[in-house]
């Protein structure tokens, strides 16, 4: 039986990020995935690589470190991405005020941000619905990815370029080092990293449940926009200022939250904020909502979809709003801090709970986490 240095449970973004970091260290790596292909949060997401949304400190630095890993990796794999940054549209003076405070902070060390007045933002984005637009913010660090391409391409790359072994359709049921038991086979390894995402109750359920919440998100995708119409960047709106921790330190955020609570109560009840990302085929992903733990039902809520579509129409006049797909995604979110990492017993590391930031921070999180785990 082949002996591995590291077995990874889960072939989502966190599992693949750990596989990449370990393979680059020269380790013999095996990835075990329950499904026939990774079908979790990592391919259901927007593909917004979004450092701007990260709070100051570890998360932001992780995002920027991930960017240093991601950009050459995309080049090496030869994969589509759109590095055109993000545009945040303000429809109220209080949103503009928060953006301006954020911009002042970023002038001291964070990435490049530029405030735009109404005319400037309308000029940049002809698809904007001009009604009520006050101005906005451009940030240049964001990259739009297509996760449906990225995850399979990264899997292929790891297999072909780094000799990483993958076993799909292998749900891990028990780990007793040096053995890892799946529903089909037993494998031998000296270390295991467990990245089971929202399926965290499949292994170490008690530990995971103490530290993680589950979040359900609803998403929509339009048909490809006709005549080559493209958004100039991923599009973010005022509701996101209340959602992303990056803005929590802005002095006027409380005032903005107060107004949003009055004007957008239904949106806030479902954790909705309005985001748009356009992929290489011209389709636009629109989302999303956030329902947690006991709020979660097995069903897709029509009301959430209507709110998201109404919010989207307030922001953009897309040439086509015909929908091709609607789906739900689930992720795990740490109850405290940016993520949950714990060496549960010698040689077994749990990594989970990155919430809505896994595509943005996963690559660097794996590098840092593995260094501590393997050297510790
Ligand atoms: C709708 C949506 C939109 C999002 N948008 C963004 C975004 O724009 N930008 C961003 O940075 N982040 C975004 N996120 C968050 C991001 O997708 C997640 O943080 C990230 O994908 C988590 O990766 P993961 O590997 O932990 O989980 P997953 O991708 O869910 O992977 C976990 C894998 O583990 C497997 N597994 C579970 N149990 C076992 C077992 N016992 N044995 C074997 N395999 C097992 C599962 O089958 C699954 O494939 C979004 C998430 C969602 C749902």
Instruction: State in Å: Cα 311 to ligand 1 middle.
Output: 26
| Distance (Å) from CA 320 to ligand 1 centroid | 29
pLDDT by 10-residue block (mean), the chain, 376 residues:
96 98 98 96 98 92 97 97 98 97 77 92 97 96 97 98 98 98 98 98 96 98 96 96 93 96 95 97 97 96 97 96 97 96 97 98 97 85
Strands of the 81-82 sheet, one edge to the other = 48-49, 143-145, 81-82
Take atom 41 of ligand 1 and give the residue whose Cα is closest: 172
- DSSP E strands, 195-304: 212-222, 234-237, 275-278, 284-287, 291-292
Task: Give the count of alpha carbons within 13 A of 180, CB side only.
Answer: 27
CA nearest neighbour of 63 among 190, 245, 220: 245
pLDDT of residue 106: 75
Pocket test for ligand 1, best of 31, 35, 42 (most atoms within 8 A of CB): 42
Gap between the Cα atoms of 348 and 341, Å rounded: 11
Mutate to test the pocket of ligand 1, among 196, 272, 352, 363 (most ligand atoms within 8 A of CB): 196
Sign of CA dihedral 42, 46, 47, 48: negative
Best substitution site from 197, 333, 339, 354 to test ligand 1's pocket, by max atoms within 8 Å of Cβ? 197
Q: Which atom of ligand 1 is nearest to the CA of 32?
A: 43
Note whether 10 and 33 are within 8 A (CB): yes
Q: Which domains does the chain have, with CATH numbers?
A: 3-43+148-211+336-375 (3.50.50.60)
The residues lining ligand 1, judged by C-beta closer than 6 Å to any ligand atom, are 9-15, 32-35, 38, 40-42, 44-48, 50, 171-172, 195-199, 202-203, 217, 219, 288, 329, 331, 352, 354, 356-360
Residue 284 CA: distances (Å) to CA of 47, 175, 213, 318, 326:
11, 41, 29, 9, 12
pLDDT tens, residue by residue, 336-347: 999 999 999 999
Tell how far the Cα of 47 is from the centroid of ligand 1, in angstroms.
Answer: 12
> In DSSP terms, which residues pair with 157 in a beta bridge?
none
pLDDT, residue 56, reads 86
Question: Residue 21's closest CA among 353, 344, 375?
Answer: 375
Tell me the CA–centroid distance for residue 254 and ligand 1, in Å.
31
Contact (Cβ atoms closer than 8 angstroms) between residue 219 and residue 288: yes
Please tell me the distance between residue 40's alpha carbon and the centre of ligand 1 in angstroms: 5
Which of 286, 247, 225, 224 has its CA nearest to residue 48? 286
Q: 49 and 143 in contact (C-beta within 8 Å)? A: yes
CB-based contact 333:355 (threshold 8 Å): yes
Looking at residue 109, what is its pLDDT?
Answer: 62
Q: Per residue in 113-151, pLDDT tens?
A: 999 999 999 999 999 999 999 999 999 999 999 999 999
């Amino acid at each position: 039986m082949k002996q591995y240095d590291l077995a990874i449970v889960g072939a989502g973004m966190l599992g693949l990020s750990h596989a990449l970091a370990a393979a680059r260290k020269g380790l013999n790596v095996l990835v075990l995935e329950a499904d026939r292909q990774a079908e979790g949060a990592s391919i259901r997401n927007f593909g917004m690589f979004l450092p701007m949304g990260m709070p100051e400190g570890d998360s932001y630095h992780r995002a920027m470190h991930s960017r240093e890993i991601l950009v050459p990796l995309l080049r090496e794999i030869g994969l589509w991405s759109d590095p055109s940054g993000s545009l945040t549209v303000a429809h109220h003076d209080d949103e503009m005020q928060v953006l301006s405070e954020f911009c002042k902070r970023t002038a001291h060390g964070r990435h490049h941000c530029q405030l735009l007045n109404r005319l400037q933002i309308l000029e940049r984005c002809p698809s904007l619905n001009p009604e009520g637009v006050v101005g906005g913010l451009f940030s240049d660090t964001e990259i739009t990815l297509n996760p449906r391409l990225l995850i399979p391409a990264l899997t292929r790359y790891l297999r072909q370029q780094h000799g990483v072994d993958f076993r799909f359709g292998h749900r891990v049921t028990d780990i007793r080092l040096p053995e890892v038991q799946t529903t089909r086979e037993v494998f031998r390894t000296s270390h295991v990293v467990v990245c089971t995402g929202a399926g965290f109750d499949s292994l170490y359920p008690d530990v995971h449940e103490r530290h993680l919440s589950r979040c359900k998100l609803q998403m929509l995708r339009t048909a490809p926009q006709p005549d080559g119409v493209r958004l100039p960047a991923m599009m973010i709106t005022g509701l996101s200022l209340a959602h992303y921790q990056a803005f929590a330190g802005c002095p006027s955020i409380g005032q903005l939250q107060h107004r949003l609570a009055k004007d957008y109560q239904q949106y806030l009840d479902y954790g909705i904020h309005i985001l748009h990302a356009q992929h290489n085929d011209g389709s636009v992903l629109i989302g999303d909502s956030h329902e947690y733990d006991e709020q979660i039902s097995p069903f897709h809520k029509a009301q959430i979809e209507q709110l998201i579509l109404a919010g989207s129409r307030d922001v953009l006049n897309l040439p086509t709003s015909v929908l091709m797909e609607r789906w739900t995604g689930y992720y795990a979110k740490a109850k405290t801090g940016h993520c949950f990492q714990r060496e549960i017993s010698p040689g077994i590391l749990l990594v989970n709970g990155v919430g809505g930031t896994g595509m943005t921070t996963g690559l660097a999180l794996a590098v840092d986490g593995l260094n501590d785990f393997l050297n510790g």
